[in-house]
Amino acid sequence: MEQPIERLKRLSAELVARLPECEMEDFDAYMAEREQIFGELMQRELQPSEHKDAKAILQLDKQIIARMMQLKDEAAGHLDKVQQGQKSRSVYDNAGYGSYNGHQEESLFFDRRR
């Protein structure tokens, strides 16, 4: 049976191998399985022979985190575009000729100088 630290290393390596194609769903599945493995690891102490694997996992984590941050930035950019579009649309929807705070007035008056 594969040791928890070995499973975590394999799981991380598999994710890093397909990192450019990974989407948030892949990270969700990875994190769920990783959490389960960490639960097993917390119940015992790491053996000295496993410290090398732990360091390798930390190096893989840096690559995984970088990809997650890239996806987060992309999502934030898309969200900003949507919010900007909503703001622009609400300005056009609410402001009309003769309106005050989005409410149409009954009539318009123009003052002329004589």
> Which pLDDT score, from 0 to 100, does residue 19 have?
92
- Beta-ladder partners of 104: 99
pLDDT tens digits, residue range 81-94?
988 888 877 766 66
Alpha carbon distance 111, 114 (integer Å)? 9
Confidence grade of residue 44 (pLDDT, cut at 50, 70, 90): confident
pLDDT tens digits, residue range 10-23?
999 999 999 999 88
Q: Return the number of other C-beta atoms located less than 10 Å from residue 9's C-beta.
A: 20
Mean model confidence pLDDT for the chain = 84
Picking from 102, 104, 86, the residue whose alpha carbon sits closest to that of residue 94 is 102
Of the listed ranges 11-25, 40-54, 60-74, 95-109, the least confidently predicted one is 95-109
The reply to whether the predicted model has a pTM over 0.75 is: no
- Are the beta carbons of 79 and 34 closer than 8 angstroms? no
Confidence grade of residue 110 (pLDDT, cut at 50, 70, 90): low
Element (H, E) at 8: helix 4-17
Residue ranges in 18-104 assigned as alpha helix (H): 24-42, 51-94
Average pLDDT score over residue span 28-37: 94
Picking from 21, 4, 11, the residue whose alpha carbon sits closest to that of residue 60 is 11
- Are the beta carbons of 87 and 80 closer than 8 angstroms? no
